[in-house]
Amino acid sequence: MTSLDTVIQDLVIANRILAKEEVVDAYGHVSIRHPDNPDHFLIARSVAPDLVTAEDIVELGLDGMPVRDEKRTLYLERFIHGAIFEARPDVMAVVHAHAEDTLAFGVADGVKLRPVIHSGSFIGAEVPVWDIADNFGDTNLLVTNMEQGRDLAKCLGPNHVTLMRGHGFASAGRSLIEVVRMSVYLPRNARALTRAQQLGGSIKYLSQGEIDARNRGYSPYSTETWRAWEYWANKAGCGHLLTRPGR
Amino acid sequence: MTSLDTVIQDLVIANRILAKEEVVDAYGHVSIRHPDNPDHFLIARSVAPDLVTAEDIVELGLDGMPVRDEKRTLYLERFIHGAIFEARPDVMAVVHAHAEDTLAFGVADGVKLRPVIHSGSFIGAEVPVWDIADNFGDTNLLVTNMEQGRDLAKCLGPNHVTLMRGHGFASAGRSLIEVVRMSVYLPRNARALTRAQQLGGSIKYLSQGEIDARNRGYSPYSTETWRAWEYWANKAGCGHLLTRPGR
Amino acid sequence: MTSLDTVIQDLVIANRILAKEEVVDAYGHVSIRHPDNPDHFLIARSVAPDLVTAEDIVELGLDGMPVRDEKRTLYLERFIHGAIFEARPDVMAVVHAHAEDTLAFGVADGVKLRPVIHSGSFIGAEVPVWDIADNFGDTNLLVTNMEQGRDLAKCLGPNHVTLMRGHGFASAGRSLIEVVRMSVYLPRNARALTRAQQLGGSIKYLSQGEIDARNRGYSPYSTETWRAWEYWANKAGCGHLLTRPGR
Amino acid sequence: MTSLDTVIQDLVIANRILAKEEVVDAYGHVSIRHPDNPDHFLIARSVAPDLVTAEDIVELGLDGMPVRDEKRTLYLERFIHGAIFEARPDVMAVVHAHAEDTLAFGVADGVKLRPVIHSGSFIGAEVPVWDIADNFGDTNLLVTNMEQGRDLAKCLGPNHVTLMRGHGFASAGRSLIEVVRMSVYLPRNARALTRAQQLGGSIKYLSQGEIDARNRGYSPYSTETWRAWEYWANKAGCGHLLTRPGR
């Protein structure tokens, strides 16, 4: 396989993992920056992530428009991806999803979503909440053009995740594996924090030093990182699609 | 297939989806107005939704009585459907179910069920709670005649969903796909709101303008709507029964 | 098949249903009074309910002792069943289980477990909590002799369910189908009540008149009751074992 | 099979059970002291527990280092196991995991994790919380050397379980079956306690006498204990690997 074929196959795996782990249902999507052209990204056409195959992957510009003639319908919210790739050259992969257990943190202001468990450290110390109503008034809450996408990317700033009020979240990673992992552990961290708050008393969050220490250990193809990717892919029924770099 | 065969097959798919998504268990049902006769509707005989096949679908009048000779037992609560179709010419499909996470909102008056997430917008700004005891005293809580059905339909009014105290809910849509979608996302919205209330602070509900904006985008066979229908049908093991209009 | 064979097969189905619905795990058991001898009852030998086959069913006296030579190990807590059958001639079937969502109501005294949903009505208006420590001090919490079993049966009194502090519950029905149904909906009612209490405000329980009205409609082989039995058996993978009386 | 082969096979089963019961995901591990050499222990190489086979099991010294030439990557946190085996000659098996429902008790100080249900008795009356930051400051929260492992073992003391703040737990048993059982019922006890606290009022914990009574009944291969092991192994799809001692 060419390098591009491998990237596309990894993107298929990512779609299936996110579906199996209930980060996405029929809605939500994951993208990766094109390996040979940083001004393009790859994402599925409008289809449920669980059903994505290599043939469904399309190539879009950072403006969210297809770079080749494309008759198939595209995700309405592909501008989330384009705008984040545009604003953040360090970001290689993006997820937008509505994972259920993150939603409450976008609509209630009682507790801020912050890391309380080590696997949640990658969401970073700060998780801003973007409210589309602030700059766009009454909408259908979907990010359907670049202006809205750029507003969201601005709110994300240098962070890894932003909640979207009444809607879901967008997460941005340095690799596909990282953004998938972040998106799987974000709801888990949300659940742990929700329960901690129910138990009462004071809550011990991860310190900035701990978040930094974990971040320094980042390596997209370390044995530890690969272990989860391999596990999730097998669980999602697509272990046979796995390709490990350098093997 | 004739148009009626397609409608019946879609109704079978709807039954299976609602079972798989845990909106119904052995109890609960979904109906659709007859495509050629607005005074009739189609619904399964008394059988668990997960086991419904085309042969189980019967045709009833708006009074809940079979229009042809029918020896098989019918759902006791078919009057819910008849009465809503009678009162609401705009309604094309009805679900009655006991989805677990909606139940608390029918028995506790601490928080009203309202949309907090975009996928919950279709339940509408107002979700009334119907208490059968108000007009019928001590019953077995089931809607077993037209009088009770009409009382429920009156409480529903122009809304899309009504909770039924100590029992479940009834939802009414402009198409089968819409009512299934509403019934799947109703419990999700209920869970998100329950957790938001646990987190504390103030809660930001969808505004009326947002609900209206989402409603204006309604289209039963858009790519976006179909995406979920296709996903749910595959997940429920009946993707092979799918028929897409105009394809 | 003889009548006894059918009863045994139904008991196998009941075991599998309770396992699939997560009422029992490796522990917990279900019994039925012997159809020809009210002083005997049928229950599995010591094996996980999910693995029970007809060969595992043994016949015990109301003292919990095997009526025939039996070398296989029996459930330690079979005395729960014997003592309830002894005290309650109206009871035809018994379940003892540790269904997770019922446990909190046995250890916290903030809210009493009472019916809030129509499918929970069969647990009855009163669900006593039996604490083995009251009369037996520090034990391993298991009911391992007739004295303890009779103490539990006394606490149950004329009710349908008793919680067992720090342990689980015992439920008693007029038929196998009824006791299975009660045991499946008991945790659901517990969850609905827990959430209602979280939502706050006042909670509307089923009235005594409603509980009575539902109870009057009891019929172990009605279409409505059978619908659930058929559904659960299919879901548990043993639909092929179903036998419907009078068909 | 030799005795060692049987032990290794049991360790494979333990890995699969812990994965199926969602005690571990891609992360978390289980070990057993070597049956012929108390200064060695057996554990998988760095691979997700659900994918472990006999070939993945490696033999390590109590310092966490492999006793034979080993090119494969090992678990970073194997020192948890080594340090506990070193400090506690009575301990024959160790689990480290991040079971989600235990996490809140490690970060909130409102309620202490203590047994409220009989199956939770084996965690013991006291469950200390170890915070790696107390003696090691800002780390990535992982136990990656013997010094940290020994600090954890010291906090565990004579207990059976210690929570690890923001991370998970370590549990120590007198047999593999015991430590697996403890690790499965620990999250269940945590959930029951969380809900009890939500219901309000006072909570009745297991008394010390009850914990002692249950502990006296400990027997790793009793019918009752085996029943769960057999059930979990079958549920995890590896019932065919079961070997029962003395049969």
Residues 6 or more apart from A84 whose CB is under 8 A from it? A91, A94, A149, A152, A153, A156, A170, A172
C-alpha–C-alpha distance, residues B130 and B136, integer Å: 12
Cβ separation C200–B137 shorter than 8 A: no
pLDDT tens per residue across span C56-89? 999 999 999 999 999 999 999 999 999 999 999 9
C-alpha–C-alpha distance, residues A144 and C126, integer Å: 55
Q: DSSP letters of D162-181?
A: EEETTTEEEEEESSHHHHHH
Alpha-carbon distances, residue C222 vs C219, C226, C231, C244 (angstroms): 5, 6, 14, 11
Alpha helices in D42-175 (DSSP H): 78-87, 100-107, 132-136, 146-156
Task: Please give the interface size between A and D, counted as residue pairs whose CB atoms are below 8 Å apart.
Answer: 111
Q: Which two tokens stand for residue B146?
A: 């037209």
Cβ atoms within 10 Å of A170's Cβ, excluding its own: 28
pTM across the whole model? 0.96
Which residues on B lie below 8 Å from A27 (Cβ)? 119, 227-228
pLDDT for the residue D246: 58
Which candidate, C86, C87, C44, places its Cα nearest to that of C66?
C44
Q: DSSP letters of A104-136?
A: HHHHB-SS-----SGGGGGG-S---EE-HHHHH
Work out the average pLDDT over C153-172.
98
C181: phi then psi, degrees, rounded to nearest 5:
-60, -45
pLDDT for the residue A68: 95
pLDDT for the residue A219: 80
Q: Which residue of A has its CA nearest to D196?
A: A199
**β-pair type (D93-97, D168-173):** antiparallel
Average pLDDT, chain A: 96
The pLDDT of residue A29 is above 80: yes
Q: Which two tokens stand for residue B142?
A: 């089931």
The pLDDT of residue A1 is above 70: no
Task: Please give the interface size between B and C, counted as residue pairs whose CB atoms are below 8 Å apart.
Answer: 111
The secondary structure element, H or E, covering residue C163 is strand C161-164
pLDDT for the residue D1: 64
Burial (CB count <10 Å: 0-12, 13-18, 19+), residue A5: exposed
Work out the average pLDDT over B94-109.
97
Residues 6 or more apart from D44 whose CB is under 8 A from it? D11, D15, D29, D52, D56, D57, D58, D75
> For A227, which of D48, D105, D166 is closest by C-beta distance?
D48
Is there a catalytic annotation at residue B230?
A: no
> The tokens 């948890």 sit on which residue?
D80
User: What residue type is assigned to position A81 of the chain?
Assistant: H
> For C202, which of B109, B139, B197 is closest by C-beta distance?
B109
C-alpha–C-alpha distance, residues B118 and A98, integer Å: 10
User: What residue type is assigned to position A103 of the chain?
Assistant: L
> The tokens 């780390």 sit on which residue?
D139
Q: Which two tokens stand for residue A79?
A: 């501008």
User: Choosing from C21, C55, C70, C77, which is the catalytic residue?
Assistant: C77
Cβ separation B227–A111 shorter than 8 A: no
Q: Which two tokens stand for residue C118?
A: 């129509």
The pLDDT of residue A244 is above 90: no
Cβ separation C195–B101 shorter than 8 A: yes
pLDDT tens per residue across span C172-225? 999 999 999 999 999 999 999 999 999 999 999 999 999 999 998 878 778 888
D62: phi then psi, degrees, rounded to nearest 5:
-70, -10
CA angle at residue C242 from C241 to C244, to 5 degrees? Answer: 150
Q: Is the Cα torsion angle A54, A55, A61, A63 positive or negative in sign?
A: negative
Residues 6 or more apart from B62 whose CB is under 8 A from it? B39, B40, B41, B82, B83, B85, B86
- List the strands of the sheet with C161-164, edge to edge: C57-61, C40-44, C29-33, C93-97, C168-173, C161-164, C129-130
> For B107, which of C204, C207, C227 is closest by C-beta distance?
C204
Which residues on D lie below 8 Å from C73 (Cβ)? 223
* Chain Cα centroid distance, residue C239: 21
pLDDT for the residue A221: 75
User: Choosing from D21, D77, D86, D178, which is the catalytic residue?
Assistant: D77
pLDDT tens per residue across span B119-162? 999 999 999 999 999 999 999 999 999 999 999 999 999 999 99
Which residues on C lie below 8 Å from D224 (Cβ)? 46, 76
> Distance (Å) from the C-alpha of residue D10 to the closest C-alpha of chain C?
18
User: Choosing from B21, B22, B59, B77, which is the catalytic residue?
Assistant: B77
Helix (H, G, I), strand (E, B) or coil at A86: helix
> Distance (Å) from the C-alpha of residue B99 to the closest C-alpha of chain A?
16
Q: State what percent of residues in chain B have pLDDT above 70.
A: 98
The secondary structure element, H or E, covering residue B29 is strand B29-33
D14: phi then psi, degrees, rounded to nearest 5:
-60, -40
pLDDT for the residue B243: 87
Q: Which two tokens stand for residue A43?
A: 């994402």
Name residues of chain D where pLDDT drops below 70.
1, 245-247
Q: Which two tokens stand for residue A67?
A: 């770079």
pLDDT tens per residue across span B36-79? 999 999 999 999 999 999 999 999 999 999 999 999 999 999 99
User: What residue type is assigned to position A211 of the chain?
Assistant: I
The pLDDT of residue C246 is above 80: no
The pLDDT of residue A247 is above 60: no
The secondary structure element, H or E, covering residue C11 is helix C3-20
Cβ separation B231–A50 shorter than 8 A: yes
DSSP B220: T
Average pLDDT, chain C: 96
What is the ipTM, given to two decimal places?
0.96
